[in-house]
Amino acid sequence: MRTVTVVGASLSGLYAARELRAQGYDGHLVVIGDEPHHPYDRPPLSKGFLTGRADENQLALTDAEESAELDAEWMLGVRARALDARGRTVVLDDGRTVSTDGLVIATGARARRLPGDALAGVHTLRTLDDARALREELTRGPRRVVVIGGGFVGAETASSCSSLGHSVTVVEAAPLPLTPHLGTGMAAVCAALHRRGGVDLVTGTGVAGLRGTLTVSGVELTDGRTLAADLVIVGIGATPNTSWLAGSALALRDGVLCDDGCVTALPQVVAVGDVARVGGVRAEHWTSATQQPRVAVTNLLAGRTVATADAVPYFWSDQYGARIQFAGRRGEGDTVRITEGELSDGAPAEGGFLARYERNGRTTAVLAVDRPRPFMRARRELTRETAVAATGE
Amino acid sequence: MIPVCRIEDLPKGESVRVEATPPVAVFHTDDGELHAIDDTCTHQDASLSEGWLEGCLVECPLHAASFDLRTGMPTCLPARRAVRTHRVTVDDGVIHVHLAAEEGTAA
Ligand SMILES: Cc1cc2nc3c(=O)[nH]c(=O)nc-3n(C[C@H](O)[C@H](O)[C@H](O)COP(=O)(O)OP(=O)(O)OC[C@H]3O[C@@H](n4cnc5c(N)ncnc54)[C@H](O)[C@@H]3O)c2cc1C
Ligand code: FES
């Protein structure tokens, strides 16, 4: 291959560029990204960056020295608009085209939006620009903040806002937030963390609409109530950025469909990170975005699938002074057992806990709140067992 | 110089966090060596004394960066900066950490 192009200049795109060089690719390397910024880390945006503990320098994923070593052509601030049917030509928004032999799709996901969210005071939180705007508004004195969506990003944002002294309400349409990730029992335990921060959690009711003429003044709920608000943060999940691939030969279904080795329908096109549906699963986790590129690049350079991605997904979340860590794939009907630590009044007690999800006597997943060391041990066991089970098949 | 604990209270394979400013992590490796490094990972915000000790490497419990306890150098991403290392001595059976800053050296 003489030219390899990475589309998406963020976490998984940067890791793909690194892997290409690390695995000996010495041809022309092009990285295209629509954000004007060099790759930065998103997890701190809802955590330390919002509270002011971390500044922009600390978000940088790379530096000038490494950039020079990578010897890539960075095309930043320009969006890829289309990919031809053969997967050999990337068309840019400004009309330019990039011809390529290999392609890494790393376009991630964007924040899902609500109708009527163009009102001033309504925010999403996905990009550095989003976070800058929100952080700026949060420094203008105490606000009534409504966070729509109680997922991880919503909960972390609520936690950060309350620690800055704002009064915060989280609205969640489901009976409990985080149920798809954690199952009902543990979702209830983690939802109880909102109490720690003095944040109100309203569940089981959707949002009917946003109130306000120029600036948002409230959130109308489907149960008829209206919550007064000076600031609304919409945290209702993310949509994979695949629209630019519409005219290509790639199969798209809530992400770019690939096999277990991140390879798409075209052998010289791979997909990684939040945009990739790898072996039927689209993870939106930092660790998947950093691990998949190794496998994807190996397969890209080999011209076929010779390696497959890690079967034990992992993510963490920091909220209300607690660190949540989860690894594995839980299933409906798994039993959950707390094997270390305890709960107090339905919430994690001081010192946290470790819980195991089990099916037929086997651990399928582990969850920890403030128990990093036992979690690490359990996660390693799980990785080992999963590898053994995979070779036994 | 900070007293940590008696040597028998830190078995091989174990680590302990010392509440200095900034906090320090002390490790007793399976080979019987003692090492001290800054406890906070240079990547983000995790305590390396809670990490996974293997030989003279410790793996961060949050995003799996790994550090060489002898040099403080990261051996893999996402960490790109070294942690400071500190000298460790055992006097009358008690482990002591000599903070690099106090000794006027970064080694
Ligand atoms: C606020 C926040 C907090 C998070 N916290 C955690 C956490 O605690 N733990 C955890 O495990 N994960 C967390 N995540 C998830 C993690 O950040 C993502 O999994 C990770 O960023 C995915 O990386 P990516 O490179 O695949 O996609 P992205 O980071 O989404 O990057 C994709 C890039 O491609 C660009 N792009 C899109 N379309 C085009 C196009 N057509 N042409 C050119 N460029 C394009 C985008 O603008 C973007 O720069 C968090 C995410 C957010 C937003
Ligand atoms: S905090 Fe240690 S690797 Fe991220």
Do both A220 and A248 map to the same domain? no
pLDDT in tens, A79-106: 999 999 999 999 999 999 999 999 999 9
Does the pLDDT at position A387 exceed 90? Answer: no
Do both A63 and A11 map to the same domain? yes
CA atoms within 13 A on the CB side of A230: 12
Does the pLDDT at position A271 exceed 90? Answer: yes
Q: Which residues of A touch B57 (CB under 8 A)?
A: none
Residue B8 tokens, joined: 């028998």
Q: Does residue A245 fall inside a structural domain? A: yes
Q: Taking the CA atoms of A294, A265, A6 and A288 in sequence, report the sign of the dihedral they define.
A: negative
Q: Which residues of B touch A375 (CB under 8 A)?
A: 61
Do both A63 and A20 map to the same domain? yes
Residue A310 tokens, joined: 């890690």
Q: Does residue A248 fall inside a structural domain? A: yes
* Pairing assessment for the beta strands A362-369 and B24-28 based on DSSP bridges: unpaired
Q: Does residue A43 fall inside a structural domain? A: yes
Q: Which of A44, A66, A372 sits opposite B50 (nearest CB)?
A: A372
Residue nearest to atom 17 of ligand 1 (CA): A42
Q: In sequence order, which residues have a C-beta less than 8 Å from that of residue A199 and are 6 or more positions away?
A: A158, A159, A162, A168, A169, A170
DSSP letters, A341-373, are EEEETTEEEEEEEEEEEEETTEEEEEEEES-HH
Q: Could you tell me the CATH number of the domain that includes residue A54?
A: 3.50.50.60
A380 touches chain B (CB under 8 A): yes
Residue A279 tokens, joined: 């072996």
pLDDT in tens, A213-257: 999 999 999 999 999 999 999 999 999 999 999 999 999 999 999
Q: Is B46 close to ligand 2, i.e. is its CB under 6 Å away?
A: yes
Q: Is B62 close to ligand 2, i.e. is its CB under 6 Å away?
A: yes
- Which of B17, B54, B66, B77 should we substitute to test contact with A (largest number of A Cβ atoms within 10 Å)? B77
B78 touches chain A (CB under 8 A): yes
Q: Does residue A283 fall inside a structural domain? A: yes
Closest CA to B71 of B23, B27, B36, B24: B36
Map tokens 């949002």 to a residue: A207
- Structure confidence at residue B104 (pLDDT): 57
Do both A198 and A136 map to the same domain? yes
pLDDT in tens, A1-26: 999 999 999 999 999 999 999 999 99
Q: Is B41 close to ligand 2, i.e. is its CB under 6 Å away?
A: yes
What percentage of chain A reaches a pLDDT higher than 70? 99
For the entire predicted model, the pTM comes to 0.96
Q: Which ligand number lies closest to the CA of residue A47?
A: 1
pLDDT in tens, A34-79: 999 999 999 999 999 999 999 999 999 999 999 999 999 999 999 9
Give residue A390's pLDDT band: very low, low, confident or very high (50, 70, 90). Answer: confident
Q: Which residues of A touch B59 (CB under 8 A)?
A: 376
Range of the domain at B87: 2-103
A44 touches chain B (CB under 8 A): yes
B31 touches chain A (CB under 8 A): no
B46 touches chain A (CB under 8 A): yes
Give residue B107's pLDDT band: very low, low, confident or very high (50, 70, 90). Answer: very low
Do both A190 and A243 map to the same domain? no
Give residue B101's pLDDT band: very low, low, confident or very high (50, 70, 90). Answer: confident
- Structure confidence at residue A392 (pLDDT): 61
- Structure confidence at residue A324 (pLDDT): 98
CA of A203 to nearest chain B CA: how many angstroms apart? 30
Q: Does residue A207 fall inside a structural domain? A: yes
Do both A102 and A247 map to the same domain? yes
Range of the domain at A373: 321-390
DSSP A158: H
Do both A18 and A164 map to the same domain? no
- Beta partners for A256? A252, A276
CA of B82 to nearest chain A CA: how many angstroms apart? 15
Q: Is B44 close to ligand 2, i.e. is its CB under 6 Å away?
A: yes
Do both A103 and A185 map to the same domain? no
Closest CA to B46 of B78, B1, B5: B78
Q: Which ligand number lies closest to the CA of residue B78?
A: 2
B75 touches chain A (CB under 8 A): no
Q: Does residue A312 fall inside a structural domain? A: no
Do both A186 and A42 map to the same domain? no
Radius of gyration over every alpha carbon of chain A, rounded to an integer in angstroms: 22
Q: Taking the CA atoms of B3, B5, B6 and B11 in sequence, report the sign of the dihedral they define.
A: negative
> By CA distance, what is A374's nearest residue in B?
B50
Q: Which ligand number lies closest to the CA of residue A325?
A: 1
Q: In sequence order, which residues have a C-beta less than 8 Å from that of residue A388 and are 6 or more positions away?
A: none
Domain count, chain B: 1
Does the pLDDT at position B102 exceed 80? Answer: no
User: Cα of A87 to ligand 2 centre, how many Å?
Assistant: 36
Q: Which residues of B touch A377 (CB under 8 A)?
A: 52
Q: How far apart are CA A234 and CA A207, in angstroms?
A: 11
User: Can you tell me whether residue A334 is helix, strand or coil?
Assistant: coil
Do both A183 and A331 map to the same domain? no
Per the prediction, chain A carries an average pLDDT of: 96
Do both A354 and A376 map to the same domain? yes
Burial status of residue A210 (CB atoms within 10 A of its CB: 0-12, 13-18, 19 or more): buried
- DSSP strand E in A244-313: where? 256-258, 269-271, 276-278
pLDDT in tens, A291-334: 999 999 999 999 999 999 877 999 999 999 999 999 999 999 99
B2 touches chain A (CB under 8 A): no
Does the pLDDT at position B106 exceed 60? Answer: no
Q: How far apart are CA A354 and CA A203, in angstroms?
A: 26
Site to probe by mutation for ligand 2, drawn from B38, B41, B67 as the one with most ligand atoms within 8 Å of Cβ, is B41
Q: How far apart are CA A83 and CA A89, in angstroms?
A: 6
Given the CA of residue B78, which atom of ligand 2 is nearest to it? 3
Does the pLDDT at position A164 exceed 80? Answer: yes
Q: Could you tell me the CATH number of the domain that includes residue B19?
A: 2.102.10.10
Do both A98 and A246 map to the same domain? yes
Q: How far apart are CA A315 and CA A320, in angstroms?
A: 17
- SS3 percent helix, strand, coil of chain A, rounded to 5, is 30, 35, 35
